[in-house]
Amino acid sequence: MPSTRDIRRRIKSVKNTAQITKAMQMVAASKMRRAQQAALAGRHYAALMNQVLGNVTFHAGDFTHPLMEKREVKTRGIIVISTDKGLCGALNSNLLREAAKFPKEGTMYVTAGRKAAQFVARTRRHLAAEFTYKDTPLFGEARAIARFARDSFLKGEVDQVDVLFTKFISTLTQKPELRPFLPVSEIKPVSVGVPQTAQEEKLQPGATEFLFEPNAEEVLGALLPHSLNFQIYQMLLESKASEQSARMVAMKNATDNAKQLIKDLTLEYNKMRQASITNELLEISSAAMAAG
């Protein structure tokens, strides 16, 4: 049975831990607000860009582009966007559980974030490239990832590329999502949780006739790489918003649990002190009665 000294030491240790988790909660809350604003701000542009791309390819007729080439899938590329650090609940576990569903043979992994790279190395899967990104993702970081995926696809190293990331839904909810990336013809307009604007509604397939100036080849040749770059950038923003939200919630739960543990330990400590004092009083009374 622990002594009162052991309980006092444990209470002090838990209080120190609670101070750390509280500080991490405040830092994560501050970063979370910025990350959520950035992710939500880019959703309208990403949705409109995706719809424009889908409609342009729909109306391009017989136009072909190397990034639109459909091939028999012998080797599949998976871009996994994870976090660099832990202490964010089950965020990485849920994401990497989805990544583990792909067969080792015929799958090439590209990682963004140390947790994904560690998972690929630990499970002895094929890691083609490893990238990192900051707390505030930069467009250049997304461009580097997208460029590597494009080059691998154009060289024939992979026949299809998908992106696995954590989609931000709310502060309490984040969900792993697998989204097709290459070939471009496989990309469909997706719902990002925002209402369609009047401009987006006009861009439905078959509703608008597109005229290309100077020609469809040059327009799509410039549009496709930019669209792919921004898609990766938006996914980085979604992943970062999910990470900070999950970390804030996890640290809040840890702080609350620490406070409850301190209450329980303090109650146990007081009971032990009370029992000790009662025993001492009984001993004194017994001694006095024996002396009388």
Please give the positions annotated as active site. Answer: 88
> Quick one: tokens of 284?
């004194």
Give dist(CA 21, CA 16) in Å, integer. 9
DSSP 185: G
Give dist(CA 234, CA 156) in Å, integer. 26
Give dist(CA 185, CA 69) in Å, integer. 8
Residues 204, 188 contacting (CB under 8 angstroms): no
Give dist(CA 197, CA 220) in Å, integer. 24
Give dist(CA 213, CA 223) in Å, integer. 13
Query: Is residue 77 helix, strand or coil?
Result: strand
Residues 157, 171 contacting (CB under 8 angstroms): no
